[in-house]
Amino acid sequence: MIKLNQPVLMELQADMAWIPLVQAVVEQGAPVLGLDRSKTLRLTMAVEEIVSHLARTALGTKIGFSLKPYGWHVLAEFSFRADPSHLWAMNLAAKPNLSDPNDLDHLGLLLASRMVDGFTLHLEGEVVHLALRQDCSYPVVTKIAADPIRSKGKLTIVPAPESAFIQAACVRAVNLYPARKNHTAFSMPGKVADMVAQKDMDMALVLDETSALAGMICWQALSEKGIGFFGPYVFCREEQAAALLTEHLIQRVARTKAMGLFSELATPELTTKEFESLGHFSYVQSDGQASREEVWYRHLGEDMGASVWAHPAMVSFLSAAYGRLVLMRDIRETCGFGEALPRRSVFSTQLRPELGEATLMPMVTGADAKDCVARHVDTLCRENFSNIFFKLDLAFGWQAALGGVLMENGFKPRLLLPHGGRSDLVVFQYEPA
C-alpha cells in the first residue's frame, strides 16, 4: 500500500462546532496515511469523543491536533490545557457513576480509549499531551510446526536485513518458538518489517553460506537509555548462531547513548555469561501452569551513579537490588505529605490477552490512587489476566510515591531495570497473599 509520509496539523478551539471538521480530517486523512476503513472509523470516533469531551469540560481551550504517520501506525495527537483529572475516564477500569451527570460527561473518553490500539498521556507543566495510536492492519500468520535447519558452511551476520528476510525471520520464529517467547508483532511479519523501516525496531540475522536463515535477534528502545531485546531466535542446529547474534547486538548498541540492555524476552539460547541476572517474574500460563521468566541485563557503559526517588516501603528492595548490581544510587525517599493532587488518577494499560498479561504505568497520580489501583486489579482479574505488572519510573517522585499504594494493594517489587525509563524502573507484580 502506498502511504503518504506527511503529517496533518491543525489548531482549533474546544467547541462542538469544530467536531465535523476534525472528523473529516481523520476520515479523509487516516486512509492516506495507511489505515484501512474500519481502523479509520474507530479512530474518527475516538477523536470525535476527545474533542467533544474537551468542548464540554474545557470550552474554548486551544487544542493542537495532528495526525501523523509512523509506518506501522498513525498517531492522533492532542495538546491542550485542561485539568488532567478529567481524563480519568481513559482508565481501563474507569467506572463512571451513572447517576452523576458530571461523570456521564466522561463516558466518551472511555469509549475513545477502547476504540484505539493504545494511548499515551503526559503532562508538561499545565499542558496535557494525549496521543491515540491506531495500528495499520496486517495479515496474521499462524504457527505451523517446523524443524530447525541444518546450516551449511560459515554463518554470517546481516546487520540490516531487507524486508523479505525480516518477514521470513518472523515466520520462522512463530513456527519454532512458543508464543510466550515471541514479540507480539511477529505474527504480523509485515508490521515488523514496517517497524524496522520506521526504526521502531532493529533486527539482525544470521545466514549460512547458502543464504538460509539461521537466526535472528531484534531490539527496541524502551527509553532514552534503555534497550530491550528479544531472542536470540535460532533457526538452525548450530550453537554458534546465538553467540554471534548476541555479540553483534552488544556491539551495535554499545556506541549508542543507551546505558542498559535488557532481555524483554530471552530465549534459552542466550549466552548469559556476559549478562547479569536481574531476577525473574513468575508467570501463570494459559493452562494454569506456573513458569519463570528470567530477565538478563548488560550494562553498556561506565556507571556514573545517580539519584532516584523511592517510597519508604520500597527502600529495602531497592537497596538490596542496587547492592547486588553494584550500582551506586542516592535513594531519596518520598511518600506524599498531603500536597494538592489532581482528583483522579490515569494509568495506562498494555494488554497481551493471549498471555493473560497486563502492564500498568501511571500517567497521572491523583488523590484516588489507592482506589484506582484496586479497581484496575479487580477489573483485570475478572477478565482473567493472571499476570499483572505495574512499572514505576524512579526519575519521578510522583511515580515513586505510588510504591506504597501498590504494596498495600498486593503488589510486590520484583525487578529493578537500571535505566529502563528516564531513570531506573521498578517492576511490581501483583501477588495477592
Partner 1 sequence: MAADPIWWCSSMSLLDFNRLVPAHIQSFEVYVPSKPDTEFMRLYGVDHLYRLNNNENALGPPPEVFDILQAFPPRAVPVYPNGDCFDLRNVLAEKFNKDPEQFLVGNGSCEVIASVIKAFCQEGDNIITADKTFAVYEWVAQFSGFEAKLVPLKDHAFDLDAMILAMDDRTKILFVCNPNNPTGTYWNTTTMTDFLDRVDNRALVVIDEAYCEYVEAPDFPDGLALMERYPNVIVFRTFSKMYALASLRIGYLCGALDVVNMVRRTHVVYSVNTLAQRSAAAALSNDGSFIRDTRKMVGDAKALVCPLLEELGLDFLCNQGNYLMVHLPFSDTLMYRKLMTKGIMVRTMTGFRFPNWIRVSLVQMPVMEEFCVAFQQIIQEMRPQRG
- Tell me the C-alpha to C-alpha distance, in Å, between residue 181 and each of 173, 178, 433: 9, 6, 28
Q: What residue spans of 233-355 are helical by DSSP H?
A: 240-254, 315-325
328 scored as a contact of partner 1 (CB under 8 A): yes
197 scored as a contact of partner 1 (CB under 8 A): no
Cα 423 to its chain centre, rounded Å, is 16
- In whole angstroms, the minimum distance from the beta carbon of 305 to partner 1 comes to 4
366 scored as a contact of partner 1 (CB under 8 A): no
The interface region with partner 1, picked from 105-113, 268-276, 311-319, 399-407 by CB under 8 A, is 268-276
Nearer residue to partner 1 within complex by CB, 177 or 229: 229
9 scored as a contact of partner 1 (CB under 8 A): yes
- In whole angstroms, the minimum distance from the beta carbon of 246 to partner 1 comes to 10
Cβ distance 112 to 90 under 8 Å? yes
6 scored as a contact of partner 1 (CB under 8 A): no
Of the residues 75, 93, 170, 310, which one makes contact with partner 1 according to CB under 8 A: 75
Q: Which residue has the cell 554470517?
A: 156
DSSP label at 401? T
Cβ distance 242 to 271 under 8 Å? yes
Of the residues 217, 278, 325, 360, which one makes contact with partner 1 according to CB under 8 A: 325
**Residue 131, beta-bridge partner list:** 77, 120
Roughly what angle, to the nearest 10 degrees, separates helices 107-115 and 37-57? 160
**Exposed/middle/buried for 145, CB within 10 Å: 0-12, 13-18, 19+?**
exposed
264 scored as a contact of partner 1 (CB under 8 A): no
- In whole angstroms, the minimum distance from the beta carbon of 327 to partner 1 comes to 7
66 scored as a contact of partner 1 (CB under 8 A): yes
133 scored as a contact of partner 1 (CB under 8 A): yes
The interface region with partner 1, picked from 84-92, 135-143, 246-254, 365-373 by CB under 8 A, is 246-254
Nearer residue to partner 1 within complex by CB, 150 or 324: 324
**Residue 63, beta-bridge partner list:** 12
- In whole angstroms, the minimum distance from the beta carbon of 257 to partner 1 comes to 5
Residue 126: count of CB within 10 angstroms of its CB: 10
Site for partner 1 in 291-310 (CB under 8 A): 298-305
326 scored as a contact of partner 1 (CB under 8 A): yes
Residues 6+ apart with CB under 8 A from 199: none
161: phi then psi, degrees, rounded to nearest 5: -65, 150
- Tell me the C-alpha to C-alpha distance, in Å, between residue 75 and each of 8, 43, 375: 11, 9, 28
The interface region with partner 1, picked from 23-31, 74-82, 95-103, 344-352 by CB under 8 A, is 74-82
Grid cell at residue 283: 508467570
Of the residues 85, 120, 359, 386, which one makes contact with partner 1 according to CB under 8 A: 120
102 scored as a contact of partner 1 (CB under 8 A): no
Cis peptide before 69 (omega within 30 of 0): no
Nearer residue to partner 1 within complex by CB, 9 or 146: 9
Q: Rounded to whole angstroms, how far apart are CA atoms 172 and 281?
A: 26
Nearer residue to partner 1 within complex by CB, 251 or 282: 251
Positions in the binding site for partner 1 (CB under 8 A): 7, 9, 11, 62, 64, 66, 68, 70, 75, 77, 79, 120, 124, 127, 129, 131, 133, 200, 247, 250-251, 254-257, 273-276, 298-305, 325-328, 330
